[in-house]
Chain A
Amino acid sequence: MQNSEVFLDIFQILILLITLTLLTKPMGGYMSRVYQGERTFLAPVFGLLEKLFYRISGITPDAEMNWKQYAFTMLIFNFIGLAVMFAILMLQGYLPLNPQKLPGFSWDLAFNTAVSFVTNTNWQNYSGESSASYFSQLMVLMVHQFLSAATGMAIVVSFIRGLARRTAETIGNFWVDLTRTVLYILLPISIIVALVLVSQGVIQNFSPYKNVQLLEAISYEKPKLDINGNPLKDASGKQLTEKIIVKEQTLPMGPVASQEAIKELGTNGGGFFNANSSHPYENPTPFTNFLEILLLLLIPAALTNTFGRMAGNTRQGWAIYTAMLLIFVLAVGALYLAEYSGNPLVQKLGVHGPNMEGKEVRFGLGGSVLFSASTTATSCGAVNNMHDSLTPLGGMVPMVLILLSEVVFGGVGSGLYTMLAFAIIAVFAAGLMIGRTPEYLGKKIEVMEMWMSVITILTSGVFVLIFVSIALLVPAGVSSMSNPGPHGLSEVLYAFASMSNNNGSAFAGLNGNTIFYNLTGSLAMLAGRFAPAVAVLAMAGSLVKKKYVPPSLGTLPTDQLPFIIWLVSVVLIVGALTFFPALALGPIVEQMIMQGGV
């Protein structure tokens, strides 16, 4: 790669960060108006629909809920979604919009997929183009990309209310927060973005798959099987094959753009196709790639501003944004360097250039690296290149971003509430060191808040370590690895990190569609989503009752650089203490092997 190419890659990364920062304020302001019940400019379009939804569902929009009611309705709503999704996936074969006549999912795969989409994880043990009907793609996978995103955003907003309100009881109305998120934020942006994506070549139709003639027919050897499906061998024990000539290519079709837009916007990541955003029909040009990256960062970044505004001090929001941005820039830099250096084992063979295995030419190194860092910094989990084929240290960067509990922007809603839990821990730890009562935004931090913050940030880590250990001890866990040695450990570690933290990207060589991984994964995803969610709501319920303590000389200012650096350190230290041994045995050992050329 020439220097000018590297320069342009860096320029692309800078433009992205500048655009994101510029959008944070207007988008954050708009969202705070939506959540404070104000009239927005979209009211003429969606206002009637909003009222209609409240009327048919019997919702009184002014009736506020305490934290228990809020948590209860949130859980009920998600349980309904889970049950419906499970049923649809099992019965897909009997449902409409299935031109390819695809059969239903197996029970464990259906359960894993339903859990995965209701928890905003979008871990995919199925391959979209060959196993999900249009009906399933729309009514299961796309609906929940809206609803799980809206759930996360509702929770963070009620938590912000808990911080902002003084000596109150209620933290908002879950039904209203959910409905307004879909109608005024997710849906309008998705419609516009979907059309922009189509203009670049993302497909949007309900046609049957299309056959085209190949310019050059090709052939391959297909193993011959007997009637029972066992391989046939000749007298000397050699596998018999037959020559198959391929003259045609079958192009998959479908309503891709509409799903693509919400897939990024809601940090969902569940692709229409198996190859996700590396597929040319999901991500056809460098421009769509840039747009998709921007879109998956947009809401998590802008929510920091919404937080600042609703808490009455936008500097508090920018402090959180800056902390996130600092870790993000470090990660992008490390990942770019690792991939730019390439793979010495391959370079020795007479190949020159960066590591291109698993990457697409049109995105280049900059577009691939930026996507990988963004999709794992947020809990999106879409991929535009295959993380399993990154260099060892390159692959460790996305893994670490996930293992830090998805707080570098993080998932829509969940990223900010987890980061705020870290902020509370940081305030508490600092308070211990300087001998003051810890306060955050004028609210005293006490035993209840500490308990709930610890549950919020440690649940996923505990599940990662327990499940990885189990997977390494049982044959059902080990047999799914596709790569030998330390890389196999990385695959399993990445899988449980991704599921527990509701990311959904994968070192995709791991065969996740087994009963073992489907069930342990479902448990990890459920715990990683709902334990923190309920803990955060409980914390909101405790905070909202407290009275405001005006800042005094002894108060640690949480909107200034020293606190930002302290917060970043706390995030990194907690992550390192929890996962360093596992990382040392996986990616770090593999990097040494690669450099040593063993």
Chain B
Amino acid sequence: MKEIKTGILLFVALSLLTGILYPAAVTVLAQAIFPKQSSGSLIYKVDGTPAGSALIGQPFSEPKYFWPRPSATAVFPYNPLASGGSNIGPTNNDLITKISDRVKSFQDTGIQGQVPADLVTASGSGLDPHISLEAALVQIPRIAKARRVPEEKVRSLVQAHFEDRQLGFLGAPRVNVLKLNLALEKL
């Protein structure tokens, strides 16, 4: 059958073009023009070892660090090999119990009033590197106390790491938790 032969030949040709040539060309160009971004946006400590990626969140639970959002990744939180959300529905008791526990653990650290939603809900990727500005601000007293530094100092660090909406209207205002905690280490 002529059509089958044509189909196979065209399939092979298009596969080579879109499956090999295209990604190869993009890789070469990307590595040449944007070497840092194309390789994962790693950030480094003073001694030159990688401290993580600016785009991928890390787990923190000690009082002296800013805490990120809860992560639902499998086995342990912020596991980049198992990205994903909790997929718990809004009326599931599991969700209510988990959030209630998280709210309590924040209240135990002395937070007054209401807790920002992003701080007690799991992100979609499980790797969200950001928290809202509000979520950073409510944690300042705990961190200042644990590190024995004035709250003002921590607050100015948060302000310095504040990222507004891109181009003024895209996305949402936020703070990168890993970058902020690395800066805390240098205080």
Mark each residue of chain B from 139 to 156: 1 if its CB lies under 8 Å from any CB of chain A, else 0: 000000000000000000
Mark each residue of chain B from 31 to 48: 1 if its CB lies under 8 Å from any CB of chain A, else 0: 101100111111000000
Q: List which A543-598 residues lie within 8 A (CB) of chain B.
A: 590, 593-594
Distance from A382 Cβ to chain B, minimum over Cβ atoms (Å)? 12
Closest Cβ neighbor of A130 among chain B residues: B81
* Residues in B neighbouring A214, C-beta threshold 8 A: 52, 58-59
* Residues in A neighbouring B82, C-beta threshold 8 A: 127, 129-130, 274
Q: A15-B169, A353-B118 are in contact. Are A195 and B128 (CB under 8 A)?
A: no
Q: A205-B31, A258-B23, A342-B117 are in contact. Are A361 and B11 (CB under 8 A)?
A: no
A389 in contact with B99 (CB, 8 Å): no
B87 in contact with A389 (CB, 8 Å): yes
* Residues in A neighbouring B174, C-beta threshold 8 A: 361-362
A201 in contact with B41 (CB, 8 Å): yes
Judged by a CB distance under 8 angstroms, whether B186 is at the interface is: no
Closest Cβ neighbor of B65 among chain A residues: A216
Q: A130-B81, A258-B23, A351-B99 are in contact. Are A361 and B30 (CB under 8 A)?
A: no
Q: Which of the residues B54, B115, B123 comes within 8 Å of A350, measured between beta carbons?
A: B115
Stretch with Cβ within 8 A of B (4 or more), from A25-33, A139-147, A162-170, A496-504: A139-147
* Residues in B neighbouring A210, C-beta threshold 8 A: 40, 42, 50
A198 in contact with B14 (CB, 8 Å): no
Report the count of interface residues on A (CB-CB < 8 A): 125
Mark each residue of chain A from 269 to 281: 1 if its CB lies under 8 Å from any CB of chain B, else 0: 0000111001111
B84 in contact with A593 (CB, 8 Å): no
* Residues in A neighbouring B13, C-beta threshold 8 A: 53, 56-57
* Residues in A neighbouring B169, C-beta threshold 8 A: 8, 11-12, 15
Distance from A173 Cβ to chain B, minimum over Cβ atoms (Å)? 11
B91 in contact with A594 (CB, 8 Å): yes
A358 in contact with B114 (CB, 8 Å): no
A349 and B86 CA atoms in complex are apart in Å by: 19
* Residues in A neighbouring B160, C-beta threshold 8 A: none
Judged by a CB distance under 8 angstroms, whether A487 is at the interface is: yes
A281 and B57 CA atoms in complex are apart in Å by: 11
B40 in contact with A281 (CB, 8 Å): yes
Q: A357-B121, A362-B172 are in contact. Are A287 and B167 (CB under 8 A)?
A: yes
Distance from B177 Cβ to chain A, minimum over Cβ atoms (Å)? 10
Q: A205-B38, A246-B76, A251-B40 are in contact. Are A353 and B91 (CB under 8 A)?
A: no
Distance from A180 Cβ to chain B, minimum over Cβ atoms (Å)? 12
Q: List which A118-143 residues lie within 8 A (CB) of chain B.
A: 127, 129-130, 138-139, 142-143
B11 in contact with A80 (CB, 8 Å): yes
* Residues in A neighbouring B58, C-beta threshold 8 A: 214-216, 249
* Residues in A neighbouring B171, C-beta threshold 8 A: 285-287, 289, 362-364, 366-367
Q: A139-B15, A280-B127 are in contact. Are A212 and B10 (CB under 8 A)?
A: no
Judged by a CB distance under 8 angstroms, whether B157 is at the interface is: no
Q: A212-B51, A388-B89 are in contact. Are A143 and B40 (CB under 8 A)?
A: no
Judged by a CB distance under 8 angstroms, whether A187 is at the interface is: yes
A295 and B11 CA atoms in complex are apart in Å by: 25
A278 in contact with B51 (CB, 8 Å): no
Q: Which of the residues A58, A249, A258, A355 comes within 8 Å of B9, measured between beta carbons?
A: A58
Nearest first, the 10 closest Cβ-Cβ pairs linking A and B are A286-B171, A364-B172, A353-B117, A509-B87, A278-B124, A275-B83, A386-B85, A487-B89, A286-B170, A280-B55
Interface residues of B (CB under 8 A from A): 2-11, 13-15, 17-20, 22-23, 25-27, 29-31, 33-34, 37-42, 49-62, 65, 69, 75-92, 95-96, 99-100, 103, 107, 113-118, 120-132, 165-172, 174, 178, 181-182, 185
